[in-house]
Amino acid sequence: MINIENKVNCTSCSACVNICPKNAIVMEEDKEGFKYPRIIEEKCIKCGMCSKVCPMLEKYSNKEKYTQKPKVIAAWTKEEKIRLDSTSGGVFTELAKEILDNNGYICGAIYDKDWTVKHILTNKIEDLPQIRSSKYLQSNINLVYREIKEKLDSNYKVLVCGSPCQIQGLNKFLEKEYDNLITCDFICRGMNSPKMFTKYIHSLEEKYHSKAVKVKFKNKKYGWHNFATKIDFENGKKYIQNRYCDSYMIGYLNYNAFMRPSCYECKFKDFPKTADITLGDFWGIENIDPSLDNNQGTSIILLNSKKGEELFEHIKDKVSFKEIKSSKVFDENVCAKRSPRMTEQRKGVFENIDKLSYNELSKKYFPTPTPYIRMRIYIREKIRNIKRRMKQ
C-alpha cells in the first residue's frame, strides 16, 4: 500500500484514489495546503493497486510511442481574442475545439467558487473559456480519471490537459493505450499551495473591500512578457500588476516560496515525454526568430508522438506556426529541464503560514521591490519593448 513517509514522494496526481476498488483512499490537506492520500484502514483490502499505479514508484513509459526528439513548433492561434485570453499562444484552445467539434470530451482545470482549482471533463464548448488559461496553483483531480476512462470505453475522443505528473498518473491509472485518448501536458515550473493562493486572494479582497470575481494570470494588456496578474472585483474595481510588482508572482518566480515539495525534485522533466503534446511559453523565441514574437504570446509545441502530430495537422490552418530546429529552444525556459531550487524563504513561509497574514508573509519572505527599483524595472521593460518592436 502507498505510504507517503516523505512528502517529496507524492505529487497529488490521485491515481491511487481513482484506482482503489474500495474507495478506501481520501485526499487530505496538510498544514501547507497540499493534498496527500490517506488510506482508510477499515476499508482497505490490501490489494496493492494503489502502489502499482503510483508514477512516483514506477514511471509510465512507452518508449515506442513517444519520441526522444519531438518536433518543436512555435505557434499562436489566428483568433486574436483567444490568443489574448490565453496564457501563451492559445494553442490549447484550438486543440480543444478540434476535439469538441468531433463529438469528443476535453478535460482541464477550472477555478472553483472558493478559488481552489479542480479538473473537469466536459463536452460543452461553453466550458472552454473557464478551462483556458493557466492557474498557478495545484488543481484537484478528484475522480476525473474514472470519468475519462468511462468516456474512452464508450469510444468518445478525449483530450486531457494537465501537469506532467497528472498525465503520468492518468496513463498509469488507465493501464492500457487508448487510440481515442490524446494527452497534453505543459512545461511546468511547479504547483503552488492552494492555501497560499487563497490567502493572497483574501488579502486583495480586504484591500478592495469586495469579492474577487475573476482572476487572470498573464493578462496581456501590457504584453505577454509583462506577466501581469489581473483580478476583477464585484464592485467593479480592478487590480493589475506585472511580475515585478505582484507579490504572488514574485513569491512564485523569484523566491520559489510556496510550491509543493515534490516540485523541487520533479521526476517528470525528462524525455521522452508521456503526453502526446507538450505546450509552453516560447520564452527566448525573440532570440531565435524575432518575427515570431509580437509580445501577444507565442506557444512552444512539442509533438511527442504520432498522435500528437496528427492532431496538430488538424489545427494547422487555425494557427500561425513555424517549425524550429534550433538547439536553443529551452535556453530561456529554465523549468523545461530543471526543477526550481528549494529556498530558505519557502521554509519561512510554511513555518509561519498560520501565524502571519499574507501581507506579513510577503513582506518578510518575498518582498515586492521599492518604488525606486520599480521605476528602474519599468524603464528597463519599456526599453526592451521598444527593442523588440524594432527587431520585428
Residue numbers at the binding site for ligand FAD (CB under 6 A): 86-93, 108-109, 117, 131-137, 139, 161-163, 186-189, 191, 279-281, 299, 333, 335
Closer by beta carbon to ligand FAD, 91 or else 228: 91
Closer by beta carbon to ligand FAD, 163 or else 241: 163
Shortest reach from residue 135's CB to ligand FAD, in Å: 4
DSSP assignment of 91-125 equals HHHHHHHHHHHTT-EEEEEEE-TTS-EEEEEE--G
Shortest reach from residue 282's CB to ligand FAD, in Å: 7
Closer by beta carbon to ligand FAD, 16 or else 121: 121
Closer by beta carbon to ligand FAD, 93 or else 345: 93
Shortest reach from residue 39's CB to ligand FAD, in Å: 25
In angstroms, the CA 26 to CA 14 distance is: 9
Closer by beta carbon to ligand FAD, 44 or else 309: 309
The H-or-E segment that residue 200 falls in is helix 194-208
Residue with the shortest CB distance to ligand FAD: 108
Shortest reach from residue 236's CB to ligand FAD, in Å: 26
Closer by beta carbon to ligand FAD, 19 or else 159: 159
In angstroms, the CA 13 to CA 10 distance is: 8
Phi-psi map region of 209: left, alpha, beta (phi>0 left; psi -120 to 50 alpha): left
Shortest reach from residue 360's CB to ligand FAD, in Å: 25
DSSP 254: I
Strands 228-233 and 238-241 turn out to be antiparallel
Shortest reach from residue 103's CB to ligand FAD, in Å: 19
The helix/strand/coil state of 314 is: helix
Number of H helices, E strands in the chain: 14, 14
> How is residue 10 written as a grid cell?
507524492
Shortest reach from residue 265's CB to ligand FAD, in Å: 16
Closer by beta carbon to ligand FAD, 39 or else 261: 261
Q: List C-alpha distances in Å: 392 to 40, 293, 384.
A: 60, 8, 13
The helix/strand/coil state of 45 is: coil
